[in-house]
Structures are given as structure tokens and as C-alpha cells.
Amino acid sequence: DTNCDPELVTYPIPGNDDAIRSIELITHLIADAVIEGKAAEEQEAAQRDREDEAVQAAGVEGGGELAAAAAVPAVPSA
């Protein structure tokens, strides 16, 4: 039972599209997957931010490569 051309569907989901319960189930599952995916992306972004901050803090505490290079006096060439 279908009211549309199935060739136009990118991701077919078998189910009864005339029953409210099946539509609710499918939409809730899709919504939960979206929420879970967004939460995972936010956690990954937060982890990347923490890693970036740790790298920057290590560079500042240790003087960083640029500070170390600037501290070495230039030797005049003969």
C-alpha cells in the first residue's frame, strides 16, 4: 500500500504509513538518532577544545618553540 512513487525515496523504511503508531515509532527513532548524533558531536567538539587548550597551555608554560628560538642569540657569520 503506497500513495507515492517509491523510486523517489532515498531511504525506504518498511512500515505501515497509514497507522499513527508506526509513524510515531519511526519518527521517535529518527529523532532519538538525531539527538544522539548531535550529543556525540558536541562531546567530540568539547574534547577537541580541551586538547587544543592543553596544547596551548603546554606551549605557554614551556615557552613554546617560538619563545625558545627567540631566546637563542644570533651568531654572526664570519
Q: What does the pLDDT look like over 14-41, one tens digit per residue? A: 888 889 999 999 999 999 999 999 999 9
pLDDT (mean) for 40-50: 95
Q: How far is 20 from 33, CA to CA, in rounded Å?
A: 20
Domain ranges, residue 37: 25-61
Q: How far is 22 from 31, CA to CA, in rounded Å?
A: 14
Q: How far is 76 from 78, CA to CA, in rounded Å?
A: 6
Report yes or no on 73 lying in a domain.
Answer: no
Cα R_g (the chain), whole angstroms? 28
Report yes or no on 9 lying in a domain.
Answer: no
Report yes or no on 67 lying in a domain.
Answer: no
Number of independent structural domains in the chain:
1
What angle, rounded to 10 degrees, do the helices at 20-61 and 64-71 form?
10
Cell 548524533 found at: 37
Report yes or no on 8 lying in a domain.
Answer: no
Q: Supply 33's cell numbers.
A: 538518532
Q: Which residue has the higher pLDDT, 73 or 27?
A: 27
pLDDT, averaged across the chain = 82
Report yes or no on 34 lying in a domain.
Answer: yes
pLDDT of 12: 84
pLDDT (mean) for 50-57: 90
Cell 615557552 found at: 63
Report yes or no on 44 lying in a domain.
Answer: yes
Q: What pTM, to 2 d.p., does this model score?
A: 0.57
